[in-house]
Structures are given as C-alpha cells and as structure tokens.
Chains A and B, each alone.
Chain A
Amino acid sequence: MDSALIPKGVKRCSFFQFMGGLGVVSLVLLWGVYAMLLCWIKGLNQTNMNDYYGFALWIWADLGVIALGGGAFFTGLMKYVFGKDELKHIINFAVLIGFICYSSALLILAIDVGQPLRSWYIFWHANVHSMLTEVAFCLSCYFAVLTIEYIPLILENRQIDKVPFWHNLSHNMHTYMAVFAATGAFLSFFHQGSLGGVAGVMFGRPFAFREHLFIWPWTFFLFTWSAASYGPCFTIWLVRITEKITGKKLVRETAIQLLAKLAGWMMFTYIIAKIIDTIYWATVTVPGMGFTLADFYTNNAFYGYWILFAELVLCGVVPALMLVTPKIRQNPIGLFIAVTLGVIGVSLNRWVMVLQALAIPVMSFDQWVLYIPSWQEVATTILPVAYGVILVMISYRYLPVFPNEAELNPLAPETPPVVEAQTEEDGETQDAPEPEMAPAEA
C-alpha cells in the first residue's frame, strides 16, 4: 500500500502489520497524553512531588534522555569535526535518537513547569547567572540543530526527493552540515555541562555541590564528559535492539566498533575523573561543609553505599574496561552487556544527582524524605518513550536511516513487481549499494 514511500532495495513488513504495531504503541502514547493533559488541566497536584521534592522523576528523565541523546553530538563531532568518516554509517540513526531525546526533554519540561505558558520568561527575563538559563538556551538551540540535521533525512524519502526543491534543499543542507554540527557540538558542550552545573552550584545542598573551576562546578565537566561517553552507548544499544526487532544487520560492524571504542575510552577517562571527583568531594568538600559521607548514605530505607558502588564500579569501571578491551568489545554479547551497563550507569548518576540530593536532610533536625512517583508522572515519562518508538518506526520504514541496510541485506533477485503491494515493498532493482543517504555524501 505504501510501497512507493519505502526506500529502494530494502524489505519492510506489510503495511497492516506496521499499522498494527503502530496502534499498540499509540495506545501507550495516548495513556501518556491523558496523564499529560491531567497535569496541564488540573495542575501538578497530580504528581507525588512536594515541597521537598521540587525536582523528581521528570527532571531525572530530562537529564537522563539528554545524556543518552548525547550520542548525536558526540558522533556528529567525531564525524564532521574530527573527520571519523566511518561514523557516517551510524550518524543518521544517532541524529534521529538525539532528535527524539531532545524533543522528549522539551516536552517533559513543558509538563514539569508549574506555569508552562510562562516558559518564555526564561528567555525574556533571563538570569544569566543561572545554570538553568544556560540549559534552556543551549537546549533549545541544540534542538534546532538536531532538527536541521534531521530534516535532510526526511527529504531523502523517495517521493519527497523527486521534487527538485526538496532535493536541492537536502543537497545544500548536507553540504553545509559541518557548520551546524560544529555549532551543535559547541552548544552541547555547554548545555550538558550546565545540566551538571544545575546540581553542582547548589551550595545549600552539600550532596550535590562541587568545587568550582572558574564559574563552573566540576559536575559541569563531568556531565559533558559522561554524556559523550554514555550517549554513544545508548545509540549502539538502540541499534542492537532495532537489529533484533527487524532481524537484520543494519549498521556496518566497523562503524559500531569505532563508536564503541571511542565511547569506551571516553568512559574510561570519565570514570577516572569521576572517582577522583568523588574522593575529593568525600574527603574535602563534604567535611568542609560540616557533613560526613555517612550522612548521605545511612539512616534511610533506600539510599545506601550500594548506589555509589553501582554507579562508579558496576556501571562505570566495568563497562569502561569492557569497551576498551578489543576482545570483549568485538564480542556481540560483551558489547551489548557493556553498553547496557553504561546506559544504566549514566541513568543512575543523573538519578542520584537529582533525587538523592533532595532526599537528604540538610538541617540536623530535618529528616530523609523518600518519594514514589504517581502514575501520572510515570505515564508522562513513558510518553516520550512511546513517541520515540513511533518516530523510529516511521523513520525506519520510510527514510534511509541505515544507509548500509540494502548492502548488508541484499534482497532476493526474484522480487515481484510493484503491484503486489501490501506484503512486499516495490521490487525495483537495487542499484547503488550505498545510495545518497549518509549526510555529507551528497
């Protein structure tokens, strides 16, 4: 039915199967939209947040998806600025994931603020000393960059590409993409960093506070560093999942290996820096503020030293060592375990920096307050996941997200002609194994 829209030389499931899948995910999406509307119409009393937990699940999700979406800026930086051309095979998917992550982050923020209609105040009445202002500025600008990077991919759809204007636009955008990618990397550096700064500048919260280098707390650098390390892990993780679902090899192994290696070394250096930071914080910063490490990890029902161990060792040192060891990295199971641990590790890091920081009592006569999100918060957090799945499904079906797909999965030569519609995609001969799909190829 929609075979004319499907890229040449690749096989897709039937239109009805596709719509069925889309329908199931859409139900989840609708559930999330319902919860979102409840929050907008009835207000944030729909959540389990309170005056102790001004930041909660949503802010964690925000920080999480932005860190995980860091694969886009890191891959873009490596490809366009440092000339790692092999990454062209994965850049489209990285951009798509980045686009999903950042649009999700903006959506979650729009639900999270108490007066969404006033959100523009953050620009108009900007307090330039606030880390959150920097986050808002860079995040919006970088989202614009990701949109600019994603548009050419849409324009590569077979039918759209037939229109000369769109074809030329796509061609021209590819030609100058390096300028946008470089701007994006610059913006990413600052907003990933300033998200870390959000926690690190809170000198009223000794758990989150870090010493400063110039105007930036250490968390500024650690967050950028960790996004560059763990973001690519998420990209690889999703490639593997997509490959599993589609039952196809979608990205050349050389590209995956290169990205995994780069991520591994970034992670290896990051985790060393993070451990040094933790030791300095635990032995100098925290006592200097009148606290001990035990104040943060004892006397409560949930947060123990296990979380520190899980973040730094189990999901930090272990995946880093796995990724820098060629033998493990080249083993599909080893690689998958490593990137999975990485994804968990960065999520844990963002969790403790947001939620544990607020759970800890600061005044001696105050107490630990733990929090369990309401279903509305959970549903609105799953909403972007459903949205992401839908966007990946549609993009995968109609756009050349994986430029190597046709080459890696050659169709049987006896493909039936176009009219057989529904079950098979059109059977035009597969031409160039690697058509004009990857950015900067045009």
Chain B
Amino acid sequence: MKQTGDNGKAQRFGMVIDLDKCTGCGSCMVACQAENNVPFREDESDKTLSITWMRIYRLTNGKSFPDAEICYLPRPCQHCDGLHEGHSPCVSVCPATATDYDGLTGIVSQIYTRCFGCRYCMAACPYHARHFNWWDPVWPKGMEQYLNPDISVRMRGIVEKCGFCFQRYQKALEKAHMQGRRELEEHEYQTSCTQACPAGAIVFGDLRNPHHKVHQLAQPDFKKHGRPKNPMAFRLLEELGTNTKIYYLSSKKWVREAGHNPSVMDKPEEHH
C-alpha cells in the first residue's frame, strides 16, 4: 500500500475538538447529516438505532448544584491507527475488506457496496462510531432533490460511518490536479462538521504537517503512537491502543479524565 501523499509524506488527517468551546448546539451533527446523506426516521427517540456519524455526548462531573458542571463531547469516527499502522479495531476484523485503512491519508473508509452487514466492526468499535442501516432510507417528499450527489446513499443491511467527508478530499484533489498542483492547502480539504461549528471548536487537518493547526494544537508524539504532548489534550480510551486521530482539548481535569478508561480516571468528586 502506498504510504505517502503526493507531497512525499504520509498524511494523517485528524481533528482537534476544543471542548471548552463546544456548546453542544448540534450544528456539526446536522451538517454531517446533510453532507453525507445520512438517513433518518420519523421517530428518532431510540438513540441506539439512530445513525449519527457525529454524535454529541453530554458529560457531567457528577456533582450537584452549585458545583455541577457539564461538558459536550462531539464524537465522530475516531479513525484509529492502532498500534501498528492501520490496525484499527474495525479494519482488522472486517471479513470482506469492506472497511479499509488508507495509508495515504490515515482515513478509515467504509465501502458500502462491499459490506454485507455482519456487524463485526460494530462489535469491535468501543466508540459506537459505526451504525447499521436497520431500515432502507426514506426521504421526505422532495428531499431527495437535496441529496449530496458526491456521496452514495446507503441501503438497508449495511454498516456506515464517518469517513472524514472523503468526497471533499477527492474533489479538492481533483481541483488541485487541474491547477497543476500536487499538494493541498490546509483550507482546501475541511470536513462539514468543522465548517459548521459556530464556535470554531473543531479543527481539521494533517496531524503530521507541522504547518497545520491540528498539529500545533495537539502536538502528537508519533514516537509514542501519537500521544498528545499538549497537557490539555487527550484522546478517548488511550489505554486500549486504538491510537485515534481525534484529539480533545479541555482545561478541566475531570473532562480530560472522563476520556480515559474508568480505572485510570480519578473520582470526579476529588477534582475541580
């Protein structure tokens, strides 16, 4: 597999989400849904059946008024690298190679026409970032006119998930090639959630590129499987070795600890 981008370096697209800035407004979820033709049903009250490529979790510090604090945590697919490259929990288990790790971009893709719906990837993903199409998509009358032509709609019986708006990457690459360029500017490839966030809490880019904001914010240490050097940054379930490419920033210790596994997390009451 080709491991480097056109600029000669393997890119590792990732996100930094500043939880201090996130207000939980849900714009990222809506933008994601619109960009990626994510289907919905009339009754979405059962969240275990909702297809939410981007989902916002509400975290609390477990204290009562006046010490109660909440934090909203947007969770897209974490695009895990695993402990050796491409060994993400889902890619390694998919029996039909329907989910793949792209060595060029670090994006974990989902090939909808290849997936036959065994759901092993869902069982393997600890982030619940993968969703099954329990129903065929049904769009309200007229809405099919608004579907994004750059990404296919999915049929029932297969798994789907966030692909970092890969269609935008392809479009940006095409445009650059037309202009005779081989490298993309940082702003040329941005995910829809990043652009939709009114608070500017989501930053997207190449984690390996020192000029990109994500690199500067998270300061990933690639010698230590991408662990962030920034003391305010953390990743979800760091101890599992999933080696995710979504970094979260928070000035609050209890929030940073909530991202870890239960036993390495101190009791919330003892902090803040």
Whether chain B is bound by chain A comes out as: yes
Chain B residues with CB under 8 A of A369: 48
B 86-135 contacts with A by CB, 8 A? 89, 92-98, 114-120, 122-128, 130-135
User: Does any Cβ of B come within 8 Å of A300's Cβ?
Assistant: no
B95, B155, B264: the one contacting A130 at CB < 8 Å is: B95
Contact A126 B95 (CB under 8 A): yes
B130, B135, B155: the one contacting A45 at CB < 8 Å is: B135
User: Does any Cβ of B come within 8 Å of A327's Cβ?
Assistant: no
User: Does any Cβ of A come within 8 Å of B34's Cβ?
Assistant: no
User: Does any Cβ of B come within 8 Å of A44's Cβ?
Assistant: yes
Contact A202 B133 (CB under 8 A): no
Contact B237 A362 (CB under 8 A): yes
B120, B131, B239, B263: the one contacting A198 at CB < 8 Å is: B120
Chain B residues with CB under 8 A of A290: 237, 239-240, 260-264
A206 to B261, CA, bound (A): 10
Q: How many residues of A contact B (CB 8 A)?
A: 51
Contact string against A for B residues 127-160, beta-carbon threshold 8 Å, 1 for contact and 0 otherwise: 1101111111000000000000000000111110
A119 to B115, CA, bound (A): 9
User: Does any Cβ of A come within 8 Å of B265's Cβ?
Assistant: yes
Q: A121-B96, A125-B114, A198-B120 are in contact. Are A364 and B260 (CB under 8 A)?
A: yes
Q: Of A13-21, A48-56, A222-230, A274-282, which binds chain B?
A: A48-56
Contact string against B for A residues 105-119, beta-carbon threshold 8 Å, 1 for contact and 0 otherwise: 000000011111011
Q: A291-B263, A369-B48 are in contact. Are A203 and B236 (CB under 8 A)?
A: no
Contact A203 B240 (CB under 8 A): yes
A122, A201, A295: the one contacting B116 at CB < 8 Å is: A122
User: Does any Cβ of B come within 8 Å of A433's Cβ?
Assistant: no
Chain A residues with CB under 8 A of B122: 51, 54
User: Does any Cβ of B come within 8 Å of A205's Cβ?
Assistant: yes
User: Does any Cβ of B come within 8 Å of A289's Cβ?
Assistant: yes
Contact B133 A205 (CB under 8 A): no
Contact A365 B258 (CB under 8 A): yes
> A166: shortest Cβ distance to chain B, in Å?
38
**B236 nearest CB neighbor, chain A only:** A363
User: Does any Cβ of B come within 8 Å of A132's Cβ?
Assistant: yes
Q: A55-B119, A121-B116, A289-B239 are in contact. Are A126 and B46 (CB under 8 A)?
A: no
Chain A residues with CB under 8 A of B262: 290-292, 295, 364
Q: What's the dominant secondary structure at chain B's contact region?
A: loop
User: Does any Cβ of A come within 8 Å of B25's Cβ?
Assistant: no
A124 to B113, CA, bound (A): 14
Q: A290-B240, A290-B262 are in contact. Are A132 and B48 (CB under 8 A)?
A: no
Contact B265 A202 (CB under 8 A): no
User: Does any Cβ of B come within 8 Å of A204's Cβ?
Assistant: yes
Q: How many residues of B contact A (CB 8 A)?
A: 56
A114, A204, A206, A289: the one contacting B133 at CB < 8 Å is: A114
Contact A43 B260 (CB under 8 A): no
A155 to B119, CA, bound (A): 40
A 361-386 contacts with B by CB, 8 A? 362-366, 369
> B49: shortest Cβ distance to chain A, in Å?
5
Q: A121-B114, A295-B263, A364-B260 are in contact. Are A127 and B96 (CB under 8 A)?
A: yes
A290 to B264, CA, bound (A): 6
Chain B residues with CB under 8 A of A112: 118
> B182: shortest Cβ distance to chain A, in Å?
31
Contact string against A for B residues 209-247, beta-carbon threshold 8 Å, 1 for contact and 0 otherwise: 000000000000000000000000000110111100000
Chain A residues with CB under 8 A of B24: none
User: Does any Cβ of B come within 8 Å of A410's Cβ?
Assistant: no
Contact B258 A364 (CB under 8 A): yes
Q: A44-B157, A125-B97, A127-B96 are in contact. Are A132 and B118 (CB under 8 A)?
A: yes
Chain A residues with CB under 8 A of B155: 115
A51 to B44, CA, bound (A): 13
User: Does any Cβ of A come within 8 Å of B73's Cβ?
Assistant: yes
Q: List 12 A-B contacts (CB under 8 A).
A: A45-B135, A49-B132, A50-B134, A55-B120, A114-B119, A130-B93, A130-B94, A130-B120, A132-B118, A133-B95, A205-B123, A357-B123
Having A54-B120, A291-B261, one finds 6 other A-B pairs with CB under 8 Å, namely A114-B118, A114-B132, A115-B117, A202-B123, A290-B237, A362-B126
